[in-house]
Each structure stands twice: as structure tokens, then as C-alpha cells.
Amino acid sequence: ACQGRDVGRVNLRRPDQATSLRAAHTLARNNRYYRLSEEIRDAVMTNKPVVALETTIYTHGWPYPDNLGLARHLEDLVRSSGAVPATIGILNGVAIVGMAEREMKELMDPTSKAIKISRRDLAFATSQKISGGTTIASTMMLARRAGIKVFATGGLGGVHRGGENSMDVSADLTELGRSAAPIAVVAGGCKGFLDIPRTLEYLETQGAVVATFADDRVGPVDFPAFWVRDSGIKSPLTIKDEMEAAALLRTNSSVFFAGPVPEGAAISMPEMEEMIAHALRAADESGVHGSANTPFVLSKLKELSQGRSVIANRALVEANVKRGARTAVELRKLFT
Ligand code: PSU
Ligand code: MN
């Protein structure tokens, strides 16, 4: 049986002994479907701070070869913040935790025909030896299995507008509700064309802790909407900094930490709302629905904002990867 729950719990309380056990356990279960790199295995066994990074953001969010440049850059940011990056993705049916540069290149090269792999897609990708980028949901699963405690990226999936009828709710939200082995996800909130109030309601139902970094702001702050700092919707919880983030994690819950896009790159709420309304109308008029909807809306927003949405996207990923790395470093300090 997988002892994820027990080992996960012990792991937070007694990291030295338990992470070695955990790592040994993972090591034993390395197989043709799952591979932990030597560097990450060593980092987990010796209790170094590790930050997981997902790959759907590259395979479905950025064009090649910009995505490869971004991947390298985010790994550098994690390292310069004192942590070890573990990029996670699926290559020819093998889930890799701690992808090497050539593996990332192979995944992102369009000839790999990478698909988007969330929780439900993992089994099929594995059995068909398919390559793909992992979403927050599936990256959480794979990171947990490796004993990684912190995961950073750009944006969380959510409840789509009209989701009360379509039931289009991201598996990212249910994954945050699975508390067997707690993990922190640090990202810039979720995109404003999702239904943010319902997303927060759903996370509450799932029992997921949601806390937003206040940075230097005083009092309760808004839950950020990706390109927008102030969505007009209050975050359930506010934390001051990475030390408070680590203290919250130590209590052994899965937590979604939201970090707003840096001020200089942010787009204002009214301006964004107008562009979103325009883009959603265009998608509707062109009959673009289902999974093709998001890519269509994103490229429309890029056009309408004259590239500012992409600049904001990059800035918010970078900021949250740094927050994630500092959180992993602070979490490690709590155990030494
Ligand atoms: N939001 C973004 N960029 C992304 C994603 C979401 O701003 O790249 C990706 C993430 O990998 C996220 C996934 O986990 O989309 C959610 O997809 P879905 O709604 O199909 O669960
Ligand atoms: Mn969906």
C-alpha cells in the first residue's frame, strides 16, 4: 500500500528521519512510469528546499522556443533563491520529476505533440507512451510522491463562468482538497475570465486553505486575478510574508498561496474587465467553445492589450516562483 498519508504526516514533524524513509520509499518505487532525477532524490533525502514546477504552462501557454527560455529562467530563479527546482512533466509515458534540460527541450519541441495532462489523463498518457505538460493537479500528485512540499507556477485553474451549468471546474481545485500529503501551491491567483467567487466557494467546500501574500499592504487584501492585483474579491486569508507561509504549512494542510503580479506589470481591473468581455464575445461569435476557448481568449487578450497581458504573465510567474522558493527555504528553517 502507498503510505503517503502516514509518511507525509511524519515527514513534516520529523523531517530528517522521515524524509529519508519517504525518499527510500519513492526510490524503491521508481519504475518505468515514474522517474525521480538523482539531483531531486538527493535533495529530498538531505532535506534541501525543493520547488516543483509544472509544464502545461510551457506546452500550452507559451510558444516554442520562448517556453524553453522561460523554463530555464524559472529554474535559475529558484536556484538563486536558495532552493532546488524540480520541473515535472511526462515524456513518452514516463513521469519525470526533475527534468533535465534536454528532456524539457524534447517535451517543448512541437514535434513531441505534447498534450495537456491533468489527473484524469495520467493513466492514458502512461499506457500510450504519450508526452505532455502536467497541470497543477497532476504536478501536485507527482510532486507529493517525491516528498516535495512546495510547488510554484503562474495561475490556478478554477470554476469557469457558467460553471454552475456546465460543471466545468478544474481538477486543480479538487486536488487541493486532497489532504493525504500536504503541499503548497504558490501562484498568481486565477484568470479573471473564470468565476472567481465560485472558485473560492468551491475551494472552501474542498477544505483548501487559501491565503494571499499581503507584501506591504495593510489589512485584508484581494485575491489576485492573474494580470490584475485587485480583483474586487477579498482573499479568505492574508499572510505577511514567506515566514508566515511556512508557519501555515507546518500545520500540515495543503495551502493555495496567491501572490499578486508586481505593480509595474499589472493591468487595472476595469481595463482588464473590458478586454475580457470583448474577448469572450469574440469567442462566442466565432463559435469557439470547450478546450479551444481558453487559448482563443488568451490570444485575443494579447492582441487587445498589445502584448501587455504576456508581459504581466511573465512577471507574475517569476514573482511567484521566487515566493515559492523563499517559502521552501523558510519551511526548511522551521526544522533545523
Ligand atoms: N492558468 C494559467 N496558465 C496555465 C494554466 C492555468 O494562467 O498554464 C494551466 C495550469 O497548468 C492549470 C491548468 O493547472 O491550466 C488548468 O486547466 P483545467 O482548467 O483544464 O484544469
Ligand atoms: Mn475544464
Instruction: Express each pLDDT in 143-183 by its tens digit.
Output: 999 999 999 999 999 999 999 999 999 999 999 999 778 89
Please tell me the residue having the least CA distance from ligand 1 atom 11.
135
105, burial (CB in 10 Å: exposed 0-12, middle 13-18, buried 19+): middle
Per the CB < 8 A criterion, the answer to whether 159 and 197 are in contact is no
- Say yes or no: CB of residue 226 within 6 Å of ligand 1: yes
Question: What is the rounded average pLDDT of the residues 271-294?
Answer: 92
Task: List the grid coordinates of 234.
Answer: 477579498
pLDDT at residue 8 above 70? Answer: no
Question: From the CA of 146, how far away is ligand 2's center (Å)?
Answer: 26
Q: Which of 52-61, 128-137, 161-170, 284-293 has the lowest mean pLDDT?
A: 284-293
Reading the block at residue 37, the C-alpha cell is 532525477
pLDDT in tens, 100-135: 999 999 999 999 999 999 999 999 999 999 999 999
Cα(125)–Cα(136) distance, integer angstroms: 16
Give the cell for residue 288: 469557439
Task: Please give the pLDDT value at position 32.
Answer: 85
Q: Which ligand is nearest to the CA of 70?
A: 1
Which is higher by pLDDT, 193 or 12?
193
Q: What residue has cell string 485587485?
A: 230
Q: Which residue from 54, 108, 172, 299 has its CB within 8 A of the most atoms of ligand 1, so it is best to mutate?
A: 172
Quick: pLDDT tens for 212-265. Answer: 999 999 999 999 999 999 999 999 999 999 999 999 998 878 899 999 999 999
Identify residue 38 by its one-letter amino acid code.
Answer: E
Select from 239, 211, 215 the least CA-distant residue to 223. Answer: 211
Provide the residue count of the chain: 336
Query: Per residue in 299-322, pLDDT tens?
Result: 999 999 999 999 999 999 999 999
Distance 134 CA to ligand 1 centre (A): 9
3-state SS, residue 36: strand
Q: How far is the CA of 155 from the centre of ligand 1 (A)?
A: 6
Question: Cα–Cα distance between 326 and 230 in angstroms, integer?
Answer: 23
| CA 205 remoteness from chain centre | 20
The ligand placed nearest to the CA atom of residue 169 is: 2
Cell numbers standing for residue 277: 468581455
Atom 3 of ligand 1, nearest CA residue = 155
Catalytic residues, by residue number, are 54, 191
Atom of ligand 1 nearest to the CA of 136: 14
List the one residue out of 188, 187, 182, 172 whose CA is nearest residue 149.
182
Residue 195 pLDDT greater than 70, yes or no: yes
- CA–CA dist 255, 258 (Å, integer): 10
Indicate if the pLDDT at residue 34 is higher than 90: yes
Cβ-based neighbours of 42, under 8 Å, separated by 6 or more: 48
pLDDT of residue 319: 98
Alpha helices in the chain (DSSP H): 4-13, 15-28, 38-45, 56-59, 66-80, 101-108, 122-128, 136-145, 163-166, 171-176, 196-205, 242-250, 269-285, 293-304, 308-333
Q: How confident is the model at residue 22 (pLDDT cuts 50, 70, 90)?
A: low
**Among all ligands shown, which has an atom nearest to the Cα of 62?**
1
Query: Which has the closest alpha carbon to 161: 169, 153, 150?
Result: 169
Measured between alpha carbons, how far is 258 from 189 in angstroms, rounded to an integer?
Answer: 5
DSSP 61-108: TS-TTHHHHHHHHHHHHHHHTT-EEEEEEEETTEEEES--HHHHHHHH
Residue 269 alpha carbon to ligand 2 centre in Å: 24
SS3 111: helix
> Which percentage of the chain shows pLDDT scores above 90?
85
